[in-house]
Structure formats: C-alpha cells, structure tokens
C-alpha cells in the first residue's frame, strides 16, 4: 500500500524556484533514502511534505488524502513526524522531560519506557539537560521524541550531520532497530554508506530535481552517479 505519493511538486522560497517536478513514493514499511549533496533540495522536500514550505504545483497524497495546503500541525496529527537537521530538542529541559513532553502532545503515544529500551544511552541520561548532550545523543533524543508519538511516517533529515564516525556507527545500530518497527521512513542523507545500510530504495536529487531512482543495489553499482551527484568518489 502507498503511504506517501509526491507527484510533480515545485517548491519555492519567495521567487527562488528550488524543487522542480519532484516525484517520490513510499510504500508501507519501506525505508527510502533521499540522497544528494549539500543544497540539493533534501530539506526542502521534507519541508514540502510537512507543510512548512508547501509546493506551488503538484500533489502530495498521504494515505489517499491530499495534504498540500494543510498546516504543519495538521500534517503531524495525521502521523507524519519530522526529525529536522538541527534536531530541535528543548535545551534546558532534561532528556526525560523532552520525551515526556512529546508523549503528552501525542494522541496515541508509545510508552516512554519503550524509548529507553530502544535507546539505552538515553536511559543513563534521563536527568541530564538536553543542552549538555553530545551531538549523537541529541540526535537519539530527537528520534526518541518523534518515535514516542507513534508516527506512521518518519522523516529523518540528515541524522548523521556533524557527528563523529564512531557516533554514526552507534546511531546506525539504533536506527536499524527503529526501522524494524512498524514505521515507514524517508531518510535524507549526504552520507551514502549510512543510507545504504538502512534503506532498500533510493532517490538521488540534484539542484532540486530527481536524477535517479532505484534500489540501493542499483545505486551502489552506479559509480557515475556516486561521483557526479553524491559525496563519494
């Protein structure tokens, strides 16, 4: 079953035309990667889905419903959750308070304790202020805040951004557990090897247009794509 169907969207910032005829679909339970360099349009695609920068043309259908023009909170209420690049945890609240707050705001949340089972690192940091966490720990907290709301579609925008390689390994292990759960994921990444480990299908985006779509195996074999559009040579 199709969870999300983006059909030919064009998104602008003022007069600046950023996304050009972007189409993308996600089926139930899939983990799909959106791959591209800095500035390619990954974040703008996520923001278009969330209703933060709605497209001026094209359609976005979520579980059969047209969501273009709906406010971000209405889109969130339908089960779509974005973990933004800048993580946006509440810095002066503790880890526990951050998770509890997200839990309280959800209509059908998961138990808070399940998040500590999924992210044992956070269990030991319950009473720490979020601002004192490392980048990797903050990323885990941001994902836990999203997951406790029992999203049906999780949008992860460059979760590895700014993280040390050893932390990226930890995050990969934890996200592998997350994606085995009942959630569909769109993962935006510049770190292609990270995305290859989690996703089964991918789209390559460059200057606001999708330039390739295929299985991760197909993308992995296309050295020309990796060199031209992704940060691997």
CA dist 27 and 4 (Å) reads: 7
Q: DSSP code of 130?
A: G
Q: Are 106 and 99 in contact (CB under 8 A)?
A: no
Residue list 56-85, contact with ligand ATP (CB under 6 A): 85
Pick between residue 101 and residue 232 the one whose CB is nearest to ligand ATP: 232
**Site for ligand ATP (CB under 6 A): which residue of 2, 38, 73, 132?**
38
Q: Does 40 bind ligand ATP (CB under 6 A)?
A: yes
Residue list 147-206, contact with ligand ATP (CB under 6 A): 158
Pick between residue 11 and residue 76 the one whose CB is nearest to ligand ATP: 11
CA dist 66 and 4 (Å) reads: 10
CA dist 59 and 153 (Å) reads: 17
| Nearest in space to 231 (alpha carbons), one of 138, 160, 132, 146 | 160
Pick between residue 121 and residue 210 the one whose CB is nearest to ligand ATP: 210
CA dist 5 and 136 (Å) reads: 31
Pick between residue 22 and residue 118 the one whose CB is nearest to ligand ATP: 22
Q: Which stretches of the chain bind ligand ATP, using CB under 6 A?
A: 13, 16, 18, 36, 38-44, 85, 158
């Amino acid at each position: 079953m199709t969870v999300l169907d983006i059909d030919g969207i064009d998104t602008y910032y003022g007069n600046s035309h950023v996304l050009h005829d972007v189409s993308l679909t996600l089926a139930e339970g899939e983990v799909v990667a959106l791959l591209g360099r800095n500035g390619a349009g990954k974040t703008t695609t996520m923001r278009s889905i969330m209703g933060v920068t709605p497209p001026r043309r094209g359609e976005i259908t979520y579980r059969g419903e047209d969501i273009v023009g709906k406010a971000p909170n209405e889109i969130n209420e339908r089960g779509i959750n974005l973990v933004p690049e800048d993580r946006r945890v509440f810095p002066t609240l503790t880890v526990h308070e951050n998770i509890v707050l997200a839990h309280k705001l959800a209509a059908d949340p998961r138990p808070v304790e399940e998040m500590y089972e999924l992210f044992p690192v956070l269990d030991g940091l319950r009473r720490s202020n979020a601002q004192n966490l490392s980048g990797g720990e903050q990323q885990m907290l941001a994902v836990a805040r999203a997951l406790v709301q029992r999203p049906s579609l999780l949008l992860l925008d460059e979760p590895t951004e700014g993280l040390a390689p050893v932390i990226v390994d930890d995050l990969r292990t934890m996200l592998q557990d997350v994606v085995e759960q009942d959630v569909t994921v769109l993962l935006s990444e510049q770190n292609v090897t990270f995305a290859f480990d989690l996703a089964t299908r991918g789209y390559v985006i460059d200057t606001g247009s999708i330039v390739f779509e295929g299985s991760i195996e197909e993308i992995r074999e296309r050295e020309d794509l990796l060199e031209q559009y992704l940060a691997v040579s």
